Amino acid sequence: MKLALFDLDNTLLIGDSDFEWAQFLIAKGVVDKEVQEAKNQEFYDHYKAGTLNIHAFLDFQLAPLARHSRAELDAWHREYMADHVLPMIQAPARALVQQHLDEGALTAIVTATNSFVTGPIAREFGVEHLIGTIPAFENGRFTGKPRGTPSFKEGKIARVEAWLESLGFWWGSFDSSHFYSDSHNDLPLLQKVSHPVAVDPDATLAAHAQAQGWPIISVRR
């Protein structure tokens, strides 16, 4: 049996789904443009540098969800998918995922971005399992806080292992395990699988992949 795990932002997508969600909310007038753009860029720069405080980021990222009804958010998300996400999905990324699905691999998208934003994106790829940061939802509304361990850095390993355990599996259940990512933030999970693959990697990950002899691929046209 095979296991195939995929990062999402800047791996399967040409761009960052969370960054684009914030831009979408700015364009809708839902959040303050000046404040949101500045903080969005600040957090994104820390992410690229490997210095992101995930809890501070999630307080910022999830706050807009708590201010609106789920019905309104879902309607906005359908618009966001059409205008922002679908243009970031290219045929080679779809083909890569489909290859593993066709092989019968247990397949999941593993992303730090919250599952409200990324759930429909995973379904667009035909992937049943999503391991994303969970936005807490109580009494019919988001609370603005995460639930459980964020799916970030070492947290991705913890979340993947909990998911595997819930299905009755562990790492040793698989003949091979793949993880595809663009980011050095994902080095903990890349080092955990039997087949790490760098996808259009950042400079730090590219250097590490070259030193370790890992495959480096592109899923961009």
Tokens (6 digits) for 142? 């988001």
Tell the residue number behind the tokens 């290859």, with chain if given.
99
Q: CA quadruple 84, 69, 126, 8: dihedral positive or negative?
A: positive
Flag the least confident range among 23-27, 82-86, 95-99, 178-182.
23-27
Marked catalytic residue, from 9, 18, 182, 200: 9
Residue 38 confidence (pLDDT): 85
Task: State how far the Cα of 17 lies from the Cα of 75, in Å rounded to an integer.
Answer: 17
186 catalytic residue (yes or no): no
**Chain segment 12-69, per-residue pLDDT in tens:** 999 999 989 989 999 999 888 888 888 878 888 898 888 999 999 999 889 999 999 9
Domain ranges of the chain: 2-217
pLDDT for position 32 = 83
Q: What is the pLDDT of residue 50?
A: 87
> In angstroms, rounded to a whole number, what is the distance separating the alpha carbons of residues 114 and 99?
26
**Inter-residue contact 113 to 132 (CB < 8 Å):** yes
205 neighbors 11 (Cβ within 8 angstroms): no
Q: Which homologous superfamily does the CATH classification assign to the domain defined by 2-217?
A: HAD superfamily/HAD-like (3.40.50.1000)
Give the tens place of pLDDT for each residue, 116-141.
Answer: 999 999 999 999 999 999 999 999 99
Q: Active site residue: 7, 18, 182, 186, which one?
A: 7
Catalytic-residue membership of 182: no
* pTM for the full predicted model: 0.95
Q: Residue 165: enclosing H or E segment and its boundaries?
A: helix 154-166
Q: Which of 200, 179, 202, 193 is nearest to 92 (CA)?
A: 200
